[in-house]
Structure 1
């Protein structure tokens, strides 16, 4: 980056280094190791020239993204625009393998340039919270809604847990396409429906459970109001 004049010669790793993203995470109990083609780098000032050099000269680098980690990737709500990182070189596919409390794994694949960056440890924590909520409350395993489903981990868990039907919904079109791929990867053949709408505008029946996993710092008040209208059991993760 210094040689390509992106950062000054006195640049420090703390202030100027790119954000490292792994291409694979397996469970919160396992340390992550960097091998060849396992590292995806993110920086707001990357150029295609720098990206090409990183791919060619650093064997550990699999992909190079241009963007700021402070930005939200995807679509925050119905009033916001879609935002992506730019894939400058290589591949940005990430695989997360989550262990669960029902002795079954969930696999989530996603392109990090197009989807909210969330690693296995964070998703596992959400699944544990969901599991404990279900275990500690008398909730019929009928119809559940994963209101802001993203890549689908929560809804997939609900189907594996034994719900008769899960409604997946997300306003972001590419989240829906990613969800369909993850349903196939996890060999989900149960009863489900998929919608690509703002949840507060979704026309749906009364359900037994509604799970809301909103973006951090987003105002979810209207979404929560809608959830409480259609279900007596609302879990906000």
Structure 2
């Protein structure tokens, strides 16, 4: 996995500049938040490639936080730093690491977790798509995509802010340059807007470039309001 993988750490602020976090900063692009609620708000703007839930520093098993993160952030892999005991541990995380935790063990576990997921997901702004499983995470929910929907959305996610002509999209997704009838493209764009946008009639992300085609605009002006349905449950 790329050394600049974006990692979001959830833990006690007193350990923000501690040994474990600093060890991660040397290898990854790290952001630190102090609660599950803050993690949801941050992820609504930029999805991390992995979450590290430091329940040890928060002095809690972290089960409820982990469950809410999983429900809200879908396929984002979670490494749960658990206070133990091992025999009684419960977690919906992708990987568990029990106290005592060293920098070496943490780096190994996180690197292994990232390598497991590195070919599965494509992240852009607040959106994440598992290309292999054709699963989209947007606005706090997962949606199963069809093969054509996946191909079309992948073009936009890989090239944000770039305008794609209708001709180019028809060629890449439907292998045709015939533009006499592009209703199929229109239907797919309309469907994508329904799952990407808070208001599909006033798109802030997937925009029409009149006379040309479409583009995915990712920026502060297109972030919309984060969907934090379960934020009240976070500690």
TM range (shorter): under 0.3
| TM-score, normalised via structure 2 length | 0.25
Between 1 and 2, higher relative CO (CA 8 Å, sep ≥ 6) is seen in 2
Q: Which has the higher helix share?
A: 2
TM-score by length of 1: 0.25
